[in-house]
A and B are shown apart, each in its own frame.
Chain A
Amino acid sequence: MKIVFDHFAELYKYRVLIESLVWRDVKARYRGSVFGFLWTFLNPLILLLVYRAIFKYVTQAVDMPYYAVFLFVGLLPWLWLAGSATNGSISITQNGALITRACIPPQVLPAVVVLSNLVNFLLALPVAVGAALFYQLYPTPWLVLLPLVIAIMLVFLYGTALFLSAITVHFRDVQFLVQNLILVWFFLTPIAYDLAQAPAAKYRKYFLANPATALLVPFQQLFYHRTAPDPAYLGLAAAWAVVVAFVGIKVFEAMRDTLVEEL
């Protein structure tokens, strides 16, 4: 347990640097572009329209009211997840100078990736809320649980990014593996389709073995179904988050001394 405590104590000590790096990350993404910050909204919006067009008109697989809203509230946290995993895995190999030239605790790097993706998620969230309001899907008081849902996701993603970043230093193949698996993972997660409408009910338990399902469905319940987030999902998501974060920290700390030398 001490290892976990020390791990976070170091992060806390460097919180000002983390904060500055997160803002720089957020700003860097669109620096130099004409639309600048607008891309934070435009990117998910364009993606949304493309997915919507495909699923609604091309495959016609989904028959759901307000499908755009459904898709959007699942897609935004998914983008946070996908960004954290893919950029998290290369966070140490790409920004190695910070830990080989200066004595910065290496966990700062994956932490910055997860947090800057969180900021992008939060900045795009008003678009989802706007779309919901447009279809007169007014939010319910359950929305007060949103910070909890986000916090669980944050813990899960931090653990994931830690694990992937450390492994990638030793096995550069992991970054390419992640990029490809993310694509498969997307379709295995009920984002573009509703789990209740998944082909056969007997497969549902397999979907629940996917942590992304437990993490993302509460977002859909809050914004689209406008119900309380299912406690079973929340519990499952929290369990995943704790386990992944714990394993992530353990693996990261075990590899820590070799990280600087392998860069």
Chain B
Amino acid sequence: MTDDIAIRVEGVTKRFKKYRSITAGRTSLKTAAVEWLRNRRTAYHRLTDPNRFDVLRDVSFDVRRGETVGLIGRNGAGKSTLLKMIAGIYRPDAGKITVNGRVAALIELGAGFHPDFTGRENILINALILGLSKRQVAERFDRIVQYAEIDDFIDAPVRAYSSGMFMRLAFSVAIHVDPEILLIDEVLAVGDEAFQQKCLATIEERVRSKRQTTVIVSHDLDLVGKLCDKLVLLQPPSVLVSSEPQRAIQEFRHLLSQATRV
């Protein structure tokens, strides 16, 4: 992989289970054991399992270092799944994803927050989960609190926070991780309007600086059109268009209008 490629997605396929009913996907302990023994012999593969369907099939694209790429598509097109695979949370069933640099994912904020613990205690754990070292957390602690604008509440348990405060703190920790590669799933901005402006301004500044590689999943087409250098339009289960923003947006709007006409 050449040095200026930050993320390379090559022929990635991901299959998920079909849930026809709540128990259809589940098996009893006995069947599971029997199937496991049988599958060992018949070389079971998820790629050929009829109880699974393709969420993504043979998806490929590159993200260059410093570039900002948006993933767009309708609900269920596999945008979040793709992002989670880049983050290393899911593994592809086929194909390969190569990531060159330290990744942090803003997928759902506040992973690992514990309601009974104070903001201070939660910042540490949450930041460790997002990949910072203890020393880095200590260095950035004041900035995180200041950015979140919750100074008086930092030593109160987070269950006493308003939901806005909770999200502000969670966002602040995430944005201060300052990774080489930032993955954002819809959480571009939280809190009231003023705070949302601040979030967007921070992200925009990061994107413009070209120091950080960013992948954004969003339904806000105006925003991704403005922020991104390239958009990847997913039409289940593959990539329909991968191009400069305006063309992809046009294509997507066309797609949406066709779908709603029916």
Q: Are the C-beta atoms of A98 and B91 separated by less than 8 Å?
A: no
Q: Enumerate the 6 nearest inter-chain pairs by beta-carbon distance, A residue then B residue, closest first.
A: A101-B111, A103-B88, A17-B128, A102-B111, A31-B116, A101-B108
B163 at the interface (CB under 8 A from A): no
A59 at the interface (CB under 8 A from B): no
Of the listed stretches A1-9, A20-28, A49-57, A118-126, name the one at the interface; the rest are far from the partner chain: A20-28
Contact surface of A with B, Cβ cutoff 8 Å: 16-17, 20-21, 24, 27-28, 31-32, 97-104, 170-171, 173, 257, 260-261
Q: Are the C-beta atoms of B89 and A103 separated by less than 8 Å?
A: yes
In the complex, the number of residue pairs spanning A and B with C-beta atoms less than 8 Å apart equals 62
Interface majority SS (helix, strand, loop, mixed), chain B: loop
Chain A residues with CB under 8 Å of B105's CB are 101-103
Q: Are the C-beta atoms of A260 and B90 separated by less than 8 Å?
A: yes
CB nearest neighbor in B for A108: B129
Q: Kindly supply a per-residue 1/0 record for chain B positions 126-144, scoring 1 wherever the CB is within 8 Å of any chain A CB and 0 otherwise.
A: 0011100110000000000
Mind listing 16 A-B residue pairs with CB under 8 Å? A20-B128, A31-B116, A31-B117, A97-B108, A97-B111, A101-B89, A101-B108, A102-B87, A102-B89, A102-B105, A102-B129, A103-B88, A103-B105, A171-B26, A171-B29, A260-B90
CB nearest neighbor in A for B107: A101
A210→B89 CA distance, assembly (Å) = 38
A170→B26 CA distance, assembly (Å) = 7
CB nearest neighbor in B for A172: B26
Of B88, B112, B121, B128, the residue contacting A16 (CB under 8 A) is: B128
B32 at the interface (CB under 8 A from A): yes
CB nearest neighbor in B for A21: B125
Chain B residues with CB under 8 Å of A260's CB are 89-90
- Additional 11 contacts, C-beta under 8 A, given A28-B116, A98-B129, A171-B28: A17-B129, A24-B114, A31-B116, A31-B117, A97-B112, A102-B105, A102-B112, A102-B130, A103-B103, A170-B27, A257-B91
Q: Are the C-beta atoms of A20 and B107 separated by less than 8 Å?
A: no
B17 at the interface (CB under 8 A from A): yes
Interface residue total, chain B, C-beta cutoff 8 A: 29
A101→B110 CA distance, assembly (Å) = 9
Contact surface of B with A, Cβ cutoff 8 Å: 16-17, 26-29, 32, 87-91, 103, 105, 107-108, 111-112, 114, 116-117, 121, 124-125, 128-130, 133-134
Of B87, B108, B116, B125, the residue contacting A17 (CB under 8 A) is: B125
How far does the Cβ of B166 sit from chain A's closest Cβ, in whole Å?
14
How far does the Cβ of A145 sit from chain B's closest Cβ, in whole Å?
34
Chain B residues with CB under 8 Å of A31's CB are 116-117
A260→B107 CA distance, assembly (Å) = 14
Q: Are the C-beta atoms of B29 and A20 separated by less than 8 Å?
A: no
- Between B91, B103, B107, B111, the greatest number of chain A beta carbons within 10 A of the residue's beta carbon is seen for B111
Interface majority SS (helix, strand, loop, mixed), chain A: helix
A31→B114 CA distance, assembly (Å) = 12
A32→B157 CA distance, assembly (Å) = 10
Chain B residues with CB under 8 Å of A17's CB are 125, 128-129
Chain A residues with CB under 8 Å of B112's CB are 97-98, 102
A260→B80 CA distance, assembly (Å) = 14
Q: Are the C-beta atoms of B133 and A100 separated by less than 8 Å?
A: no
How far does the Cβ of A112 sit from chain B's closest Cβ, in whole Å?
11
Q: Are the C-beta atoms of A20 and B90 separated by less than 8 Å?
A: no
A257→B105 CA distance, assembly (Å) = 19
A257→B52 CA distance, assembly (Å) = 15
How far does the Cβ of B180 sit from chain A's closest Cβ, in whole Å?
15
Q: Are the C-beta atoms of B125 and A261 separated by less than 8 Å?
A: no
Q: Are the C-beta atoms of A32 and B128 separated by less than 8 Å?
A: no
How far does the Cβ of B216 sit from chain A's closest Cβ, in whole Å?
17
How far does the Cβ of B37 sit from chain A's closest Cβ, in whole Å?
13
Q: Are the C-beta atoms of A24 and B125 separated by less than 8 Å?
A: yes
A21→B124 CA distance, assembly (Å) = 10
How far does the Cβ of A111 sit from chain B's closest Cβ, in whole Å?
15
How far does the Cβ of A178 sit from chain B's closest Cβ, in whole Å?
13
A261→B128 CA distance, assembly (Å) = 23
CB nearest neighbor in B for A99: B89
Chain B residues with CB under 8 Å of A104's CB are 129
A152→B17 CA distance, assembly (Å) = 40
Q: Are the C-beta atoms of B111 and A24 separated by less than 8 Å?
A: no
